Structure 1
Amino acid sequence: MDTLREWILALDSVLGSAVYFPYLLLGTGLFFTLYLGFPQIRYFAHAWKVVRGKGKFDHSKEPGDTSHFQALATALSGTVGTGNIGGVAFAIFLGGPAALFWMWMTAFFGMTTKFVEVTLSHKYRVKTTDGTMAGGPMYFMDRRLNMKWLAIIFAIATVISSFGTGSLPQVNNIAQGMQATFGLDPMLTGGVLAVLLALVILGGIKRIAAVTSRIVPLMAVIYVVGALTVIAYNIENLVPSFVSVFRDAFTGSAAVGGFLGASFAYAFNRGVNRGLFSNEAGQGSAPIAHASAKSNEPVSEGMVSILEPFIDTIIICTLTGMVILSSGVWNQKHQNTFERSDMTYLSGIYDDTDQADRGQLGAFLNAQNNEVEPFNGTLSVKDGKVIGGEFTLLAARSVAENTVYKAGGTVFNGQLFVEDGKLKNPKIDGEVVRIAVSGESLVHSARLTTIAFSQGYLGDSGKYIVSIGLLLFAFSTAIAWSYYGDRAMIYLVGVRGVMPYRVIYVAGFFWASFADTSLIWDLAAVAIVLMTLPNLFGLLMLSKEMKQSVKDYWKKME
C-alpha cells in the first residue's frame, strides 16, 4: 500500500498538485465569466424559472429521460457528497482557513464553467440503442471537434473517476462516520450499502433520477439545520472565523494549536482541488446527467447547472467550513487510531510548542524544507509504549502524543523497525503482524466534521447529523456516478459494457469501505484531474460556438 500511495502521489504531483493546475481551472472559469458577461450573476434568476418548468419552460414532451429538476437533482447528488462533509474538512486540515476562500473562488467561476460544459454536452447528445439519451464532453469532442482520440481519453478517465471520485471516497467516508458514531464494522456497512447500490443502479437512469430527486432535498434540509445549530452555539466565533478565511487567503494560514501552518501556495492548491472535488465544475461529470433532461434548448439546461456550484459549495460547503472553524476543533488534537499513510517518523525530537520547531515542521509539511530528515532505526516497545529513541512521530500533519502500539487488539511488546520514516510491520512466528498505532493528533475528513458537529446545542447527538447526512450525501453520489460511468462505457464499447461495469463498480464500492482513507483521497485527487484536463481543453476550443449559442437562445426568448 505504501508503494501504491507513493506512485499515486507521484502522478498527482504532475496533475492536480502541479503549480499549473489551479491556475488552469480558475483561469478557464475566469475567461468564460468575462467572455460571456458574468452569466452566473445575470442568468441566476432565469435558471430558477427553468428548474420550476412552468409555462414556456415546460419541456416535458420534448426528447429526454428526465425533467429539469430531476436532472439537476441527479447532478447535485453526484456533487453534493463527501466533498461537502469530508472534503471541506480535508481542505481545512491541509490548508487552514485560507483553503475555504479558494473553494469559494472555484465555485464562483465554476458556475460559469459548468454552464458552458452542460450546454455543449446537451447540444451534441445522442439517443442510444436502448432508447435512452447519452451525452457528455466525449460527444462534443467526437461529433463537433472531430477528436475521437480525445473523446476516448475522456471516456476512459470518466470510468476511472467513477471509482476514484464517485464510489471509493463516498463509501469510505460513510463507513468512517458509521464506525465513529455507532461502532459499526466498516465491512458490514460496505456490504449492506453495496447491496442497496446494486438494487438502485440496475434500474437505470429513471430509477436513479426518482431516488435522487427525493434524497437530495431531504439530505440538504437535515444537514443545513444541524449545521446551523452548531454555528448558533458558537456564534461568538463566527465573525473571527470568516475573518481568518479572508485574512489568510493570500498569505497562507499561520500555525495555531496543533496545526503547523500552510503556505499560500499549499492553501491555494488544496482549496482549488477540494473545491473541484466538491462541485465538479470543469470536470465534465454533471453534463452527463443533464444530457438526459427533456429539452431541445441546450442553453436552458446549461443555465440550470449554474445552480449546482452555488448550492453545493457556496451554501453547503460554507456551512461545513463555519461549523469546523467556529467550533475550534480543526486545530485541536483528538484521540484516534492513526492511518498508516498519515504517519511519518522524523529523526530528532521536535516540540510543537517551540516556535523554532514549529517553523521547521511547517516548512517540512509544505515541502519547503529539506533539513528535516526521516527516521531510520529500531523502536523498543514495552507495554505498548516506546522506550527512548531520538525520533518524532508526525500523525495527520501534527506531532503525535500519548501513542500506544497494539497488535491484534493487545498492547505490543518487542522491537519495531522504521525505514525511511515508515513503520514496518514485524514478523511474529513467521507471520506478518499489523501494528495499530493510536494517540492524540489532528484528524481530518469525515471524522473532523463529526467532532465539530458535537460542539453545539445537540452535544454528542450532533454527530448523528453527520452520519445521516454523510450516508445520504455519499450514497446518492455513488448512485449518480454509476450512471456517469455506464454512459462512458456505452461510448467506449456500447450497451454490452454496462452490466460488467456495474458489477465491478459495486465490488469496488464494497472494498473501499474498509480501505485506507488517505490512499482513497489521493486516488480521488488524481482521478478527477484525468477528466478535467481534456474537458477544459475541449471547452476552450468551442468558446466562440458557446457565445453564439447564448445569443441565439436569447433571441428565441425575446
Structure 2
Amino acid sequence: MNNLQSTLQTIDNFVWGPPLLILLVGTGVYFTLKLGLLQFRYLPTALRLIFSKENSSNGDISSFAALCTALSATIGTGNIVGVATAIKLGGPGALFWMWLAAVFGMATKYAECLLAVKYRTTDDKGQMLGGPMYYLRDGVGSRVLATMFAVFALGVACFGIGTFPQVNAILDASEISYGVSREISATVLTILVAFVTLGGIKSIAKVAGKVVPAMAVFYVIACMSVIIINADQLYGAIELVIVSAFTGTAATGGFVGASIMLAIQSGIARGVFSNESGLGSAPMAAAAAQTDSCVRQGLISMTGTFIDTIIICTMTGLALILTGAWQGDLAGAAMTTHAFAIGLNNDTLGPLLVSTGLIFFAFTTILGWNYYGERCVVYLMGTKAVLPYKIIFVGLVASGAFLHLDMIWIIADIVNGLMAIPNLIGLVLLRNVVIEETKLYFAGKSSNTTLAVNH
C-alpha cells in the first residue's frame, strides 16, 4: 500500500511539476502578448459587462449566472486552505507568484471560454453543450483529445475537487465550529446537494447566483476587517511579499525557510489550482450563457480569475502575513483560522468566520463540479446517462464523510493536472481562431463607435 502511495505521489509531482506549470503560464503569456494585453485594457469593460443584459435566445442561463456557476466551482477550499499551503511552503513570496499566475491566467481563461461559446452545440433536450470536449472535437478535429479531457474531468468531478475534499472541509468545519456531528452534517449536505443538482443547470445557476456573490462579499469583509485592524503593518506586508518573491524567505519561528524556486512553484501551482485557468473547467459553464458573442463571454469569464485570485486569495494571503500566522507551526485551514483569531483579537469570532466561509465555498464547489461532470457524461454517453450519474454523484458526496484516504487526494490532484494537458493543446492549436475572433469583435466595436460619432 505504501509503495502504491509513493508511486502515485511521484506521478503527482511529475504531473504538477515544472513542465505543466510552464505550459500553463506560457499559454497565458502567449495570449497576453498576442491579444495586446487584453486583460489589462479591457478589465473595466469586462466587469461592466457582467451586469449588462444581452437579449439573446441562444443559451440556458444569463452570462452573470454562467460566471457565478464557474465561480462556484473555483472559489472553494483553495482560497482558504490553498493560500495557506502555498505560503507555508514558499513563504510570503508565493503570493506574488500567485498574482502573476492569475494575471496571465486571465488571458487563458478568456481564450478557453471564447472557444467554448464558438464551438458549442445543443443536446437532444435543447440544452447547450460546450467546453474543451467540443472545441477539441470540432475545432481541432481530435476525438481522442476530446475523450481524454472528458474522462479526466469526470474523474475530477467524482473523485477530485468535486466531492471528497469539499465534503471533508464542510464536515470538519461544522464539527469544530458548530459542534454538529459528522453524521448529521453528512445527511443534511447530501439532501441539499441532491435537491439542487437534480434540478439541472438552471437550479444550480439560481443557487450559485445568490450564494456566490453573498459569500464572496462576506469573506472579503471578514478579511478587510483583519487588514484594517492591522493597517499600520500593511505596507511592510506588501513589501515582504515582493522582496521574498525574488530573494526567498529565511527561516523564522515555525517557518523552515524557502528558496525563490519553491516560492515560484508553490505560488503558481496553488494559484492555478484555485482559479483553474487553463484546466478547462470554466468553459463548460461559459458555454451555457445566453449570448451571441463568444468574445463578450470570454471577457466576462476572465473576470472569474481576477475575482478568485487577485481579490479573494490576496485577502487570505494578507491576513496570514499581517498577523504573522504564516510563521507558526499550523498549516492549512488551521493556519487561516489562527490568523483570523489573532487579526480580530477574538478567539471565537475568527474561527467562526473562516468555518462559515469554508462551508459555503465548499458547498458551491460541489454544485459547480456536479454540472461539469454532467456535461462530460453527456459527451461520453448521451443525455440518458445524466440521471444515473447524478445518483452516483450524490452517493459519492454521502460516502465522502467516511473516507479518509490520503491516496484519494493524490489521485484527485493527478487527474486535475491531466485535465489541463488536452485543453492546453487545444488552446495552442486554436490560437489563431481566438486572435481572429477578438480582432473582428473589437474592429466591429470601433466601427460602430465611428458610425455613431459620424451620425
Q: Deviations over 1:438-480 (max 9, x none)?
A: xxxx232222212211113361212111111111111011101
Counterpart position of 2:337? 450
Alpha-carbon separation, structure 1, partners of 2:444 and 2:385: 40
Question: For residues 149 and 255 of structure 1, do their structure 2 counterparts lie closer, same or farther at Cα, with a shift above 3 Å needed?
Answer: same
Alignment partner of 2:134: what SS?
Answer: helix
Match of 2:51 in 1: 52
Give the 3 Å change call, closer, same or farther, for CA 130–32 of structure 1 in structure 2.
same
Deviation at 1:267, TM superposition (A): 2.2
Does the alignment pair 1:183 with 2:179? yes
The residue type paired with residue 278 of structure 1 is: S
Letter in 2 for 1:24: L
Q: Find the aligned partners of 1:225 and 1:290 in 2 and give their Cα distance.
A: 28
> Residues 241-300 of structure 1: CA distance to partner in whole angstroms, max 9, x if unpaired?
222211111333221111112222222212111111110110110000010001121111
Equivalent residue letter for 2:51: R
- Letter matched to residue 262 of structure 2: Y
How far apart, CA to CA, are the structure 1 residues paired with 2:90 and 2:115? 34
Aligned-residue Cα RMSD (Å) equals: 1.7
- Whether contact under 8 Å (1:171, 1:474) holds in the other structure is yes
SS in structure 2 at match of 1:277: helix
Amino acid at match of 1:178: S
Change (3 A) 1:239 1:213: same
SS at 1:250 equivalent: helix
Decide which structure has greater helix share: 2
- Are 1:15 and 2:2 an aligned pair? no
Query: Is the aligned partner of 1:276 residue 2:260?
Result: no
Residues of 2 paired with 1:524 and 1:556: CA distance?
Answer: 43
| Counterpart residue identity of residue 51, structure 1 | I
The answer to whether the 8 A contact 2:275-2:309 is kept is yes
Aligned residue in 1 for 2:211: 215
2:451 maps to 1:552: no
Secondary structure, in 3 states, of the residue corresponding to 1:473?
A: helix
What are the within-5 Å matches in structure 2 for residues 38-437 of structure 1?
38-54=37-53, 58-59=54-55, 61-162=56-157, 163-332=159-328
Q: Cα gap change, 1:312/1:175 in structure 2, threshold over 3 Å: closer, same or farther? A: same
Instruction: Work out the CA distance in 2 between the residues paired with 1:513 and 1:240.
Output: 42
SS at match of 1:151: helix
Structure 2 counterpart of 1:446, which letter?
A
TM-score by length of 1: 0.77
How many matched pairs?
A: 444
Partner of 1:436: none
Q: What's the CA shift for 1:521?
A: 4.5
Of the three residues 495, 500, 507, the one matched with 2:388 is: 500
1:518-557, CA deviations, whole angstroms, 9 ceiling, x for partnerless residues? 6554344322211111111110111111111111112332
Q: Quick one: structure 1 residues 247 and 522, their matched pair in 2 at CA, closer, same or farther if it must change by over 3 Å?
A: farther
Take 1:523 and 1:156, find their aligned partners in 2: how far apart are those partners? 14
Aligned pair in 2 of structure 1 residues 176, 287: CA closer, same or farther (>3 Å)?
same
**Structure 2, unpaired ranges of 5+:** 449-455
- 1:426 is matched with none
Q: Distance in 2 between matches of 1:267 and 1:187?
A: 39
Letter in 2 for 1:296: D
* 1:28 aligned onto 2:27: yes
Residue 473 of structure 1: aligned partner:
361
Unaligned runs of 5+ in 1: 333-441
1:259, 1:517 → 2: CA distance?
A: 27
Residue from 409, 412, 418 that aligns with 1:530: 418
Corresponding residue for residue 453 of structure 2: none
- Which deviations, in whole Å up to 9, do the C-alpha atoms of 1:278-329 show, x marking residues without a partner? 1011011000001000112111100101211111100010000111111112
1:188: Cα distance to partner?
A: 3.4
- Structure with the greater alpha carbon radius of gyration: 1
Aligned equivalent of 2:6: 6
For structure 1, which segment, 228-237 or 197-206, has the greater mean C-alpha deviation from structure 2 after superposition?
228-237
Contact 1:135 1:287 in 2 (8 A): yes
For 1:176 and 1:205, the matched residues in 2 are separated by 28
The AA in structure 2 aligned to 1:236 is: D
TM-aligned CA distance change 1:511 to 1:266, over 3 Å: farther
Structure 2 letter corresponding to 1:530: L
Describe the SS at the equivalent of 1:306: helix
Moved more, 514-523 or 313-322: 514-523
Q: 1:180 to 1:8 in 2, by over 3 A?
A: farther
In structure 2, the partner of 1:482 is 370
Structure 2 CA distance for partners of 1:518 and 1:271, relative to 1, 3 Å: farther
Amino acid at match of 1:93: K
Structure showing the higher strand proportion among its residues? 1
Task: Report SS of the residue matched to 1:166.
Answer: coil
SS at match of 1:116: helix
Equivalent pair of 1:229/1:458 in contact (CA under 8 Å): no
Where relative contact order (Cα < 8 A, 6+ residues apart) is larger, the structure is: 2
Give the residue type in structure 1 aligned to 2:278: G
SS where residue 459 of structure 1 aligns?
A: coil
Aligned residue in 2 for 1:410: none
The residue number in structure 2 matching 1:393 is none
- Whole-Å separation in 1 of the counterparts to 2:127 and 2:137: 19
How far apart are residue 26 of structure 1 and its match? 0.9
Cα deviation 1:157-187 (Å, max 9, x = unaligned):
1101113122222222222222332233334
CA distance in 1 between partners of 2:415 and 2:84 (Å): 20
Change beyond 3 A, Cα 1:243–1:49: closer
Decide whether the 8 Å contact of 1:176 with 1:446 is kept in 2.
no
Change (3 A) 1:266 1:508: farther
Which consecutive segments of 4 or more residues in structure 1 shift more than 6 A? none
Deviations 1:25-61 (A, max 9, x none): 111100110011011011212212322224xxx23x3
Q: Is the CA contact 1:177–1:446 (under 8 Å) kept in the aligned structure 2?
A: no
Q: Do the aligned residues in 1 keep the contact of 2:136 with 2:146 (CA within 8 Å)?
A: yes
Residue number in structure 2 paired with 1:336: none
**Percentage identity across paired residues of the two chains:** 43
Change (3 A) 1:330 1:512: farther
For residues 237 and 517 of structure 1, what CA distance do their matches in structure 2 show?
Answer: 40
Counterpart selection for 1:459 from 337, 346, 355: 346
Distance of 2:167 and 2:418 partners within structure 1 = 21
